[in-house]
Structures are given as C-alpha cells and as structure tokens.
Amino acid sequence: MGRKLLLEHADVPGIETFDVYRKHGGYRSVEKALKTMSPEEVVEEVKTATLKGRGGAGFPAGMKWSFIAKPEGVPRYLLCNADESEPGTFKDRYLMQYIPHLLIEGMIVSSYALGANQAYIYIRGEYMFVLRIVEKAIAEAYEKGFLGKNILGSGFDLDLSIAPGGGAYICGEETALIESLEGKRGNPRMKPPFPAVQGLWQCPTVVNNVETLATVVPIINMTAAEYTKIGTEQSKGTKLISAGGNVERGGVYEIELGLSVEEFIYGDEWCRGIKNGKKMKALVPGGSSVPILPAHLITKTANGDTRLMSYESLSDGGFASGSMLGSGGFIVFDEDQCIVRNTWNFARFYAHESCGQCSPCREGTGWMEKVLHRIETGKGNMRDIDLLADINKKIEGNTICPLGDAAAWPVAAAIRHFREEFEWHVTHPEEAVKRNYGMLKGVTA
C-alpha cells in the first residue's frame, strides 16, 4: 500500500462537509501556518519540499512563489487553475468533487505565503456541478472563520471565489486563464511580462494547479523534511494519476512517486491490467500532449532500467525513447487500437482548440489534422508522412504559447515509433478505409 497524502480520507462519508473534514484533521495546516510561521517560512518549506507544479509543466512551486513582485500598495492574486481539459486528465475534478476543503485549505496557506488577500479558482465550465460543490464548501469555510477578515485572529484576510470557464482548452494556459478571468476571449499573452509581475488586472499573480495547491497542506502538516522522504531522488511525494483508455479499472489513483509503471498498470491496487485480457500496445503517460511510448519502452527504458512513475524516469531517453509525466493523464492502448486514428483524433483536438492568434499554430494544426485524416482514410501518400514532420518543425518554437508544441510533439512521436503503421495506411488504401489497423496487425512492438 502506498501512502496517501491527499486522498487519504476521500472515501469518508460526508468528507465534503466542513465538520467531517475538520474531524479528520482538516484545516490544521492553516492553524500551523498562520499562528506559528511567517509567510517567508511557508515559501521556504514548499521550496525545500521541491514541490513540482502538478498541472503539466512541473515548474517548482516554491521558486515560482519567490518570483512574485511585491510593489507597495498593489494587490497580489493567487489563481487556482482548475480548467483541466488536457485529454486523459481528470484528477483535479476528483479532488474538488470529493474533498473540496483540501483545495480551499491549500489555497488559504498558499495565499498567506504570497501575501494575497484575494484568490480565485477558475474551473472549466463543463464542471458546473463541481463548481457548486466547491462553492458550498467555500461558504462553509467563511462561516467557520477560515475565510474572510482576520482569519483565526491572525490579522490575515482572504476572500476566495470560484469562476467558470465557457469551454476552451486554451484557458488552461495561465495567461489565457487570466484573460478569461478578466472577462475576455482566452487569447494567451506574450511573455514577458510574466504573471508574477503583471497578471490579473496587471497585478502580480501566481497561477497554480489544483493538485499543487492541495499538496501544500501535507507539506506544511508533516514538514518538508518528512515529505521529501517519500518518492525518488528528483520526484518527491505523491501524485494523482488519472488512468483511462483500455485498462481494466480506470480512475483516479494517488501513487507514491517512484512506483513502477508495470505495477501501476497490472497491480491489483491500481489499474489491474488491460481490459479483456488483451495485450498492451502503447501508452501516453501524461496527457495527450506528451509523446506516446510503444510497448517495448513502457515498463523498461531504452537502457533496460525499470520504468518508474516519476518525472525523471518517464522522461528517460528524451524524446527519442522517453516521454513525460505531464499532468498525470495516463492513456493505455490495447493491441487492437490504431495509432494513426488516435494521432488524427488528437490532432483534431488541437486544431479545434487553437485560439488562432499565431499563424503557425492556427494553420499548422489545421493542416496536420487534414493530412492525418487523409492518411487514416486511405487517401494519403508517402510524402504526407514527411510533410507532417515538416509542419511540425514549422510550428515548434514559433508560437506565443506552448499549445503549438503540444500539438506537434504527439504527432512526431507517433511517427517516430509507429512509422510502419502510417506507411501501411498509404500502401493499403482500400483496407485502411474498411479496417482498423490494430485489429488487423495486433501488437507491433
């Protein structure tokens, strides 16, 4: 059994209410931080814990916090990114739906550390039913004196509310989120200036993922020294993983970083193997934006080391033979799946979600979708495969925000590892329309 720091009490009946949550040790970190620690000490603790951002990029949270500008008389804001729209990712919803006070608690401590007196949660609009749960929990926290003026007599004030999006993946990008929260279209901003200097309403702002903010709670409660005893050399603590695709038991799991990928996929406590007793063909370990891994690179790295659920092990081998932990969106493919079809599906997603500001992304994602669709439906030619690589290069690094890269990488990885599958679609145009490649060929690796 791995240790659970976030979901330990998620199954307790009534844990979504203040009283039950409090009875199970809830809001202790607020008492500890506000009564016995200075804001700087909280930042230092999170830094020492080497907490990496759980939204996908893995940027150290403590470091991000220390960048926030502190001009006299200018308000600072903490924003929680609950936009969660990266395909394969549904962990933040689980946390907010079942244990909403954990997020609120983490946001109080984090706001205190940043000197922010106003914080907002930006949640994707489709999660309106979750918004209502969190909103109720916020009202309870106000009632009990954990939000509002002079929290626990500490002199620290905090207002917190939750705002819905309107259906746009791009609003998960932090500057697009800020634009959206200002009531505008979600077009990402050029950086610099970074949000830490000019964010919401041009004021210093920190944007963190739901899970990142929730993880501040156990760090403060148990101390960074204890927290860092869990995990691996470069990946400390626990991580929420949302598993989907062709696994026997999909869902949200909290793992200790460093668990082996094999154990996670096949272990009884976790995914329990591939559905219908089939074989595994491929894995996307960190949400749709990260490179796909073929069967022979999933449980072992290219060097033959055991592949672990950690930042460093999943990226071992770089883009040539590795991938990324990303958002923890774990997508498993069984032997019957067609990689070309899935690559086209993801490309369609990015084309649909491009905000359209930069031409390499707006046009490039559209072309990739069309070319991939052409190949998938048996109308492609061999040159199309190289054309995709070429479009890729023209998008990568030439856009305002990373959505362009996120669209390009999965296509490049799919071609790198499954080129013969793309070629088969070209050489067997009639069969490609009628049949699913995976069903036809089985495991290729």
Partner 1 sequence: MKIEITEQKRPVLSEEAKAEIQRVIKQYPEGRQKSAILRVMHIVEEEAGGWLSPDTMDMIAEILSIEPIEVYEVATFYTMFNLQPVGKYVFEVCRTGPCMLVGSDNIITYLENKLNIKVGETTTDGMFTLKTAECLGACGYGPMLQCGEEYHEYLTPEKVDELIEACRRGEIKGNKVV
Ligand X SMILES: Cc1cc2nc3c(=O)[nH]c(=O)nc-3n(C[C@H](O)[C@H](O)[C@H](O)COP(=O)(O)O)c2cc1C
Task: Give me the helices (H) in 294-336, please.
Answer: 311-314, 318-321
Residue 379 vs residues 86, 416, 423: alpha-carbon distances, Å: 29, 21, 12
**Residue 129 within binding range of partner 1, rule CB under 8 A:** yes
Out of 90, 112, 146, 424, the only residue in the binding site for partner 1 (CB under 8 A) is 90
Residue 340's CB is within 10 A of a number of other CB atoms, namely 26
Q: Are 188 and 357 in contact (CB under 8 A)?
A: yes
Residue 98 phi, psi (nearest 5): -100, -30
**Residue 53 within binding range of ligand X, rule CB under 6 A:** yes
**Residue 207 within binding range of ligand X, rule CB under 6 A:** yes
Contacts of 387 (CB under 8 A, 6+ apart): 371
Out of 16, 45, 86, 256, the only residue in the binding site for partner 1 (CB under 8 A) is 86
Work out how close the CB of 177 gets to ligand X at its nearest, in angstroms, rounded to a whole number: 7
**Residue 110 within binding range of ligand X, rule CB under 6 A:** no
- The C-alpha atoms of residue 318 and residue 235 are separated, in whole angstroms, by 17
**Residue 15 within binding range of ligand SF4, rule CB under 6 A:** no
Q: Which does 250 bind (CB under 5 to 8 A by kind): partner 1, ligand X, ligand SF4, none?
A: partner 1
- The C-alpha atoms of residue 416 and residue 229 are separated, in whole angstroms, by 37
**Residue 401 within binding range of ligand SF4, rule CB under 6 A:** yes
Out of 113, 170, 331, 338, the only residue in the binding site for ligand SF4 (CB under 6 A) is 170
Which residue stretch of 145-153, 231-239, 315-323, 352-360 sits at the interface with partner 1 (rule: CB under 8 A)?
Answer: 352-360
Tokens 């040159």 — which residue? 383
Q: Compare residues 199 and 250 and give the one whose CB is closer to ligand SF4.
A: 199
Out of 39, 53, 56, 188, the only residue in the binding site for ligand SF4 (CB under 6 A) is 188
Task: Give me the helices (H) in 254-310, please.
Answer: 261-266
**Residue 403 within binding range of ligand X, rule CB under 6 A:** yes
**Residue 179 within binding range of ligand X, rule CB under 6 A:** no
Q: Are 154 and 35 in contact (CB under 8 A)?
A: yes
Q: Which does 352 bind (CB under 5 to 8 A by kind): ligand X, ligand SF4, partner 1, none?
A: partner 1
**Residue 84 within binding range of ligand X, rule CB under 6 A:** yes
| SS3 label, residue 270 | coil
Out of 83, 105, 140, 421, the only residue in the binding site for ligand X (CB under 6 A) is 83
Residue 307's CB is within 10 A of a number of other CB atoms, namely 24
Out of 201, 202, 306, 397, the only residue in the binding site for partner 1 (CB under 8 A) is 201
